[in-house]
Structure 1
Amino acid sequence: MRNHEESRTPVTVIGLGLMGQALAGAFLREGHPTTVWNRTAAKAGQFVAQGAKLAGSVAEAVAASPLVVVCVTDYDAVRKLLEPLGEVVDGRVLVNLTSGTSQEARQTAEWAERQGAAYLDGAIMAIPQAIGTAEALVLYSGPRSAFDLHEPALRSLGAGMMHLSSDHGLSSLYDAAGLTLMWSVLNGFLHGAALLGAAGVDASTFASFARQNIGTVADWLPGYAQQIDDREYPAPDATIGTHLAAMEHLIHESEALGINADLPRFFKALGDRAVAEGRGGDGYAALVELFRGASEVRA
C-alpha cells in the first residue's frame, strides 16, 4: 500500500460539504496521499480514519500538496480562504470546483496567477454519489499544461472528465447552460405530470411517455444547433406562428383543469415577442435571438 500511495500525487481537499466529502473519498480510494481541511474539523473524522491527514489551517493544507482542490459554498468563501495566503499558493495547481459565475472564475484566475499558482476552474455535472464513477462528468477550463500535469489524479473523480478551453470561465458557463437545460426539462415534466394527474394518470405512467418524448426532442438538437450557428431559421415543420396556437391551447387546457398556467404563458410570451419582432414565419430555433438579445424587427 505504501508503494501504491507513493506513486500517486498528493492532493489537498478544502471544504468537506457533501460534494467535498465525495471528492476526498475518491482521492483516498485511488491511493492519493490526501490532506483535508474544513471549517468544522469534526467532518474530517471519517477521512482521517481512512488515512487522510487533517490540516490545522488552510495555509497548512495548501502547503501539503502540489494539487489543491477547493469545493466550498461560493466564490466569496474561496477568496476569504485563499487570498490571505499570498505566496503559500506559489507553485501549486489550484482546482476550484465551487459553483459560481464565469466572471468570478476569471477574476479568481487572475488572482491565482499573480500569486504564482496555476488555476483550473471546474464544474461538477454529477451528484456526490456519482463521484469516482464512470457517470461523473467534471469539466475543467484553464491552462492545458496544468490539466495535463494532474490529469491522472483528477481522473480519480470520474472517468467522464473534459478540458474545455484555456478560458477559465467556460466551465462555469457550461454549468449554467446545463442548469438551464435541467430546469427546463424538469419543469416541463412537472407541469405535464400535473396535467395528466388531473385525469387520474399517475406520474410513474407519464414518466415512460416523457422519456420517449424527451428523446424525440433531443434528436432535433443537432439540426437546431446548425441553424443557430448559421443564424438561419427555416421552418420545414412549423413556424413560430404555428407554435403560438399550440401554446394558447396549452394555456386554456391548463386553466380548464385548474393547473397553474405560468409555464405555458411564459412560452407564449416568448412566441409573442418573436412575432412582434418579425420572426413569426421562422422556425422555432429563431427564439435563440431573443435570448441573445439581438433580434431585429423585420419589415
Structure 2
Amino acid sequence: MTQNVVEKTPVTLLGLGAMGTALARTWLAAGHPLTVWNRTPARAAPLAAEGAKAADSAAEAVAANALVVVCLLDDSSVQDALAGTDLAGRDLVNLTTGTPAQARDRAAWARERGARYLDGGIMAVPPMIGVEEAGGYVFYSGSRELLEEHRETLAVPAGTVYVGQDAGFAALHDVALLSAMYGMFAGAAHAFALIRKEDIDPTSLAPLLADWLVAMAPAVHRTADQLRSGDYTQGVVSSLTMQVAGAPGFLSTAEQQGVSPELLSPYFALMRRRLAEGGGEEDLTGVIDLLVR
C-alpha cells in the first residue's frame, strides 16, 4: 500500500529577525520547503540546521520559489533587499511593518515588475506565531487571488483576515487597532498613577480594571453604528453635556493625588470643543470628526 503525500508549497522568506525566525520555524515544522535569506548570514545557520536552504543573496532566494514572503525592518530595507531581483511571475507577500502609503507604493512597484502583491499587518508577537490557541492573525490586503491561492500556506503561522483590494488597508487596520491599544494603556497608566501613593495594592486594582475595560469595550459597536448612520444621538447612554460636566472631577482628583493630567486633558479638551459646537445631546462620537483634518 502506498501513501499519498501532499506536497507543501515551497516558501522563500527574506528577513530572520525575531518575527521572521518564528515564521520560518512554523513553515518548517509544517513540512514546507523553505529558502531563507538574511542580511546577516549567521542568522540563517540555525534554520539551515533545521532543514531550510540558506541563500547567499536575496536574488537567489527570490529565484528559488514563486511565493516570496518579506519580513524586514522597514520599507527601505525591502527596497534594498529586492533591488536587482527578478520578481516577474512571483507572488510577493510583504509582512514588513509600514504605512498605508508605503504599502500602496510597494504594490504598484511590484506590479510594474510583474509580481502579484499582498501586504500584511501581523497582529501577534513572535511567541504567538504557530500557536493556534494564542489567537494571533495577520491582516492582508491587495491581491485577493494571491491570498486565495496561498491561504493554506499563509495560515500556517497565524490566521488570515482579508480587509480589501486596497494594498494599504492591512497597514491601516494594524495601526488603527494598535492606536486603540495604546489609548487603553494610557488610561490604565493614569489609573495606576492615581493609586500609586496610596496604601492600595496595584494587584488588587488590576482585575477590577481589566473587567471594567472588557465591560466598556462593546461601546465601539455603538460608535461604529453612529458613524455609519450619521446620528450621534442614537442609543446615547450618557450625553456629551453630562460627561463634560463630570470632567473637572477627574482633573481635580488627579491634582489632589499629585498625578499629571496630561493623558486625559487632550481628550477632555476635544469633548469641550464638540460641546461648544452644539453636540450636547450626542455621544462621544463627535470627537472623531474633530480629529479628522
Asked whether the two chains share a fold, i.e. TM above 0.5, the reply is yes
SS in 2 for 1:162: strand
Q: Residue 10 of structure 1 corresponds to which residue in structure 2?
A: 10
Post-superposition CA distance 1:170-213 (Å, at most 9, x none): 00100110111110111111110111223222322211011211
C-alpha distance in structure 2 between counterparts of 1:70 and 1:229, whole Å: 36
| TM-score, normalised relative to structure 2 | 0.94
Unaligned runs of 5+ in 2: none
Poorly superposed stretches of 4+, deviation over 6 Å: 3-6
Q: Which amino acid aligns with 1:150?
A: H
Q: Which amino acid aligns with 2:109?
A: W
> Shift of the alpha carbon at 1:241?
2.2
C-alpha distance in structure 2 between counterparts of 1:221 and 1:272, whole Å: 21
Aligned-residue CA RMSD in angstroms?
Answer: 1.6
| TM-score, normalised relative to structure 1 | 0.92
SS in 2 for 1:222: helix
1:124 aligned onto 2:122: yes
C-alpha distance in structure 2 between counterparts of 1:137 and 1:128, whole Å: 12
> Shift of the alpha carbon at 1:31?
0.7
> Shift of the alpha carbon at 1:280?
2.8
C-alpha distance in structure 2 between counterparts of 1:208 and 1:171, whole Å: 32
Contact 1:193 1:202 (C-alpha < 8 Å) held by counterparts:
no
Q: Structure 1 residues 280, 82: CA separation in 2 closer, same or farther (over 3 Å shift)?
A: same
Q: Residue 113 of structure 1 corresponds to which residue in structure 2?
A: 111
* Count of residue pairs the alignment pairs up: 288
1:236 aligned onto 2:236: yes
Q: Residue 205 of structure 2 corresponds to which residue in structure 1?
A: 206
C-alpha distance in structure 2 between counterparts of 1:228 and 1:13, whole Å: 40
**Comparing 16-25 with 211-220, which one deviates more in the overlay?**
211-220
Percent identity between the two aligned chains: 37
Contact 1:25 1:47 (C-alpha < 8 Å) held by counterparts:
yes
C-alpha distance in structure 2 between counterparts of 1:268 and 1:4, whole Å: 64
Q: Which amino acid aligns with 2:209?
A: A
Q: Which amino acid aligns with 1:34?
A: L
> Shift of the alpha carbon at 1:133?
1.9
> Shift of the alpha carbon at 1:140?
0.6
Q: Which amino acid aligns with 1:214?
A: L
Q: Structure 1 residues 4, 221: CA separation in 2 closer, same or farther (over 3 Å shift)?
A: farther
Contact 2:151 2:160 (C-alpha < 8 Å) held by counterparts:
no
